[in-house]
Amino acid sequence: MKNNFSHVAHWVFDLDNTLYPPEAALFDQIEVKMTSYVMRELKVDHARANFLRDHYWQKYGTTLSGMMAEHDVDPLPYLTEVHDISLDHMQQDLILRGHIQNLPGRKIVYTNGSEFHANRVLESRGLGGVFDAIYGIEHSDFKPKPGRDAYDVIVARDNIETTQAAMFEDDPRNLEIPHDMGMRTVLVGPPNARPYIHHQTEDLTDFLSQLVG
């Protein structure tokens, strides 16, 4: 396993359901706020708003991108509102912190959420100050993963040499472009047989222990 990552000098981590376990259910809170936002902005009922939230996620990569593309929604108030969630139940993982610190090279977070949300979550997990950079969707000109344009912006912004990079993601579709760019891909979630996924784990802490041990 370790030999498969011996060339990696750039470690790229998604945030939600990647650097914390899905059992934390942060997206349950976020989705409620997204649906409420869509209801209010588009003046539709709950059922229609909930449908559009998921439809835009499927079509555009994020609900926000669909709202921007089809309704010219201002992204900043949206990002502030939907990420205003409780993190009181989050548990720190200092073992994960140590493993990430011990990875050789540059470590970044790249999320379709906001930088504000990422910083809050990282602090709640005991991962504050571990990463060299944190990129939210605002840093990719509001272009979301899995679009190639989004990755191109972040790769250029952080000077990532993609053939020396690894990408950790919970959403399988977000690993296809990193694979095409030459990255080592790791799915943090249930097994998936898509050909662009090199490795799979449901326990990021354990997986990283095999790389730094």
Do both 70 and 52 map to the same domain?
yes
Do both 97 and 178 map to the same domain?
yes
User: What's the CATH code of the domain at 155?
Assistant: 3.40.50.1000
From 57, 82, 107, the end of a domain falls on 82
Number of domains into which the chain is organized: 2
Do both 113 and 14 map to the same domain?
yes
Do both 68 and 111 map to the same domain?
no
Do both 155 and 106 map to the same domain?
yes
List the pLDDT tens digit at each of the 213 positions of the chain.
889 999 999 999 999 999 999 999 998 999 999 999 999 999 999 999 999 999 998 999 899 999 999 999 999 999 999 999 999 999 999 999 999 999 999 999 999 999 999 999 999 999 999 999 999 999 999 999 999 999 999 999 999 999 999 999 999 999 999 999 999 999 999 999 999 999 999 999 999 999 997
Dump pLDDT digits (tens) for 90-133. Answer: 999 999 999 999 999 999 999 999 999 999 999 999 999 999 99
**C-alpha pair distances (Å), 113 with each of 54, 78, 80, 139:** 16, 11, 10, 10
Distance from C-alpha of 158 to C-alpha of 12, rounded to nearest angstrom: 10
For tokens 């998921």, what's the residue? 54
Do both 168 and 68 map to the same domain?
no
The end-to-end CA distance of the chain, in Å, is: 11
Asked if residue 101 lies in contact with residue 126, where contact means CB atoms within 8 angstroms, the answer is no
State the virtual CA torsion across 145, 204, 211, 146 in degrees, nearest 10: -10
Asked if residue 152 lies in contact with residue 135, where contact means CB atoms within 8 angstroms, the answer is no
From 82, 108, 128, the end of a domain falls on 82
Range of the domain at 141: 2-20+92-212
Residue 1 pLDDT: 86
Do both 69 and 101 map to the same domain?
no
Do both 77 and 160 map to the same domain?
no
Do both 195 and 170 map to the same domain?
yes
User: What's the CATH code of the domain at 56?
Assistant: 1.10.150.450
Strand partners, 201: 188
Rama region for 185: left / alpha / beta (φ>0; ψ in -120 to 50; rest): beta
* In a domain? residue 87: no
Do both 11 and 61 map to the same domain?
no
Do both 158 and 98 map to the same domain?
yes
Distance from C-alpha of 4 to C-alpha of 32, rounded to nearest angstrom: 40
